[in-house]
Structure 1
Amino acid sequence: MFFRSQRHHVLPGFKLSLGYALLYLSLLILIPLGALVAKSTTLSLQEFWQVATSERALASYRVTFGSSLAAALINSFFGLIIAWVLVRYDFFGKRFIDALVDLPFALPTAVAGITLTTLYANTGWIGVWTEGVLGWRIAFTPTGIVVALIFIGIPFVVRTVQPVIEDIEAEVEEAAATLGATRWQTFYRVLFPAIFPALLTGFTLAFSRAIGEFGSVVFIAGNMPLVSEITPLLIIAKLEQYDVVGATVLGVMMLIVSFVLLLAINLLQWWTANRHTGRHVETGVKA
């Protein structure tokens, strides 16, 4: 019985591996975050709340989290379409487009910000039409922030959803059509439940990346207080004014809000995955 309970592991030494993992996470994540929180405790609760809920800080929260949410939602929709096209269709230039998706990973964020600003400014190739013809100003507005966050976040959704779509065989769609399902019913009842957990993961990654983005946003945002100023830029401004405690307070607030949002998304993802697994088990039992 003793030998049967033993499991074979490629990397032996559970306690040693766990110790290294905890040490690594502590040095890189837990200790820095703990120091951030500890620094903010030098203020009283009233002083902390006053700094965290100032008019300029609240405006930066709205811009940061609102733009990040909008960009992540847009990336989720179009990222799913891009991933589907790359998996299900063969066309000329497919490999080029597939490699192009990863470009935001390799491109420095400052270069991306300068490029987007050049394109969407009122004298740029795109801005001259959107602002001059349509009267829609993109650069130096919150809309420009969303554009920058879409650019840096789209690979997270595509690369997360793409392998899941590859695992769904085309015969599944054919079987649904044979049983009389419409295209919408096939997508909604057969394909989307299998894709949704990965899509939610891609949304989470894109949203998380957008919250902390600085380089590509600072050039196209305009950085106007109460209008288009993101929280990371406000933190930098406080550090330049030697207000280290104030910058720490804003960092702690971003940490708290980000943790709560990501925890909620992860719980939703866990519930969705378990529900999907439960449906498969129930279907197998009935069969």
Structure 2
Amino acid sequence: MSQRSRVLPGFGLSLGFTVTYLTLIVLIPLAAVFIKSFGIGWDGLIEILTSERIIQSLKLSFSTALIAATINLLFGLLLAWCLVRYDFYGKKLVDALVDLPFALPTAVAGIALTSLYVPSGWIGQFLEPLGIQVAYTPIGITLALIFIGIPFVVRTVQPVLSDIEPELEEAASALGANRFQTIVKVILPILFPALLTGFALAFARGVGEYGSVIFIAGNQPFETEIAPLMIISRLEEYDYAGATTIAVVMLLISFIILFAINLLQAWLSRRSGRNAT
């Protein structure tokens, strides 16, 4: 039996280069982080894992990242839908603005959001009489993470949505499905893997975000102090082992969450493939 021809020959060479590249760029730096964290010893590890301040900062980082990614999941889908399915004046401008958080320095975004939402800011001055404070609260942190995470969802969902033919919706309508049934049973199953990917990317970016958050967070211990700031604080104290240990804890939690999302995505892809056959 002859081997199936490939468009690009040299599988062994390509695979070897890929593995080598990932090892140098990803695996070795991550291994160095784990090895460096071992220098803190068991006593230092227990101190970090039982520190109320560090635990609270981890809770804040992961909870705000999850909330922001969930909000981006909804509004990113709506924005991608409008960009793909409708033609309107200024569409190209809106499409270009989606990528702005990619190009804008995160520190600039943090300063801009802070100046807008402080009690004397353009938006904060209207929220203050209502008793709503955004700057220097977890709400402000979530807002900053929504700002930097929205492009991940839009740019992940947009090409998949573009590939869905409008005739598919027309066929569902012709078979008696209403709009809600068409969205739930036809559109969303196709988009769900892409939505999960966008959610995972936005969440991963939000967990490690530093520049746009520290300005609007206020960095109040036990209230608005994020985990990346705790790492920076340990580094400024030359406690490299402590900083890497906090990073390892964040890495393990993020890996578990992202691995679960990838398993769900793979299961949904297999299920949709079986349904298609």
Give the TM-score normalised by the residue count of structure 1: 0.94
Partner Cα separation in structure 2 for residue 193 and residue 45 of structure 1: 47
- Map Cα deviations across residues 45-97 of structure 1 (whole Å, 9 max, x no partner): 34312213311110001110000000000000000000001111111111110
Q: Kindly indicate whether the alpha-carbon contact (under 8 Å) linking 2:38 and 2:241 is maintained by their aligned counterparts in 1.
A: no
1:94-135, CA deviations, whole angstroms, 9 ceiling, x for partnerless residues?
A: 11101110100110111111111111111111111112x321
Residue correspondences, number: 277
- TM-superposed CA distance for 1:242, in Å, is 1.5
Query: Partner letter of residue 5 of structure 1?
Result: Q
Q: Which residue, 82, 92, 95 being the options, matches 2:92?
A: 95
Name the residue aligned to 1:165.
Answer: 161
How many Å separate the matches in 1 of 2:59 and 2:48? 16
Partner of 2:183: 187
CA contact (8 A) 2:149 2:206 kept: yes
User: Secondary structure of the equivalent of 2:219?
Assistant: coil
Tell me if the contact between 1:52 and 1:249 (Cα under 8 Å) persists in the aligned partners.
Answer: no
Deviating runs (4+, > 6 A) in structure 1?
Answer: none
**Among candidates 127, 130, 142, match of residue 130 of structure 1:** 127
Matched with 1:280 is 276
Instruction: State how far apart, in whole Å, the 1-side matches of 2:198 and 2:50 are.
Output: 31
Q: Greater CA deviation, 38-47 or 236-245? A: 38-47
| Secondary structure of the structure 2 residue equivalent to 1:117 | helix
8 A contact 1:73–1:203 mirrored in 2: yes
Contact kept? 1:111, 1:216, Cα under 8 Å:
yes
AA in 2 matched with 1:22? V
What letter is aligned with 2:248?
A: V
Query: Are 1:235 and 2:231 matched, yes or no?
Result: yes
**RMSD across aligned positions (CA):** 1.1
Q: Residue 15 in 1 paired to residue 17 in 2?
A: no
Are residues 1:155 and 2:151 paired? yes
Q: Does 1:52 align with 2:52?
A: no
Tell me the distance in 2 between the aligned counterparts of 1:43 and 1:153.
34
Q: Which moved more, 1:158-167 or 1:173-182?
A: 173-182
* 1:36 and 2:46 are equivalent in the alignment: no
Query: 1: CA distance between counterparts of 2:25 and 2:51?
Result: 31
Q: Which has the higher helix share?
A: 2
Write the distance in 1 (CA, Å) between the matches of 2:39 and 2:228. 21
Partner of 2:109: 112
- In structure 1, the gaps of 5 or more residues are 282-287
The alignment partner of 1:91 has SS state of: coil
Partners of 2:80 and 2:74 lie apart in 1 by 10
User: Counterparts of 1:150 and 1:232 in 2: how far apart (Å)?
Assistant: 17
User: How far does residue 6 in structure 1 lie from its aligned partner after superposition?
Assistant: 4.1
CA distance in 1, matches of 2:211, 2:182: 42
Whichever residue aligns with residue 115 of structure 1, its letter is A
Identity of aligned residues (%): 57
Matched, 1:266 2:262: yes
Contact 1:39 1:248 survives alignment (8 Å): yes
Using the alignment, how far apart are the partners of 1:36 and 1:166 within structure 2?
41
SS in 1 for 2:269: helix
- The CA distance in 2 between the partners of 1:124 and 1:191, in whole Å, is 41
- The residue type equivalent to 2:120 in the other structure is T
For residues 157-215 of structure 1, the C-alpha deviation after alignment (integer angstroms, 9 at most, x for no partner) is 00111111111111111121122211111100111101111011100110011111110
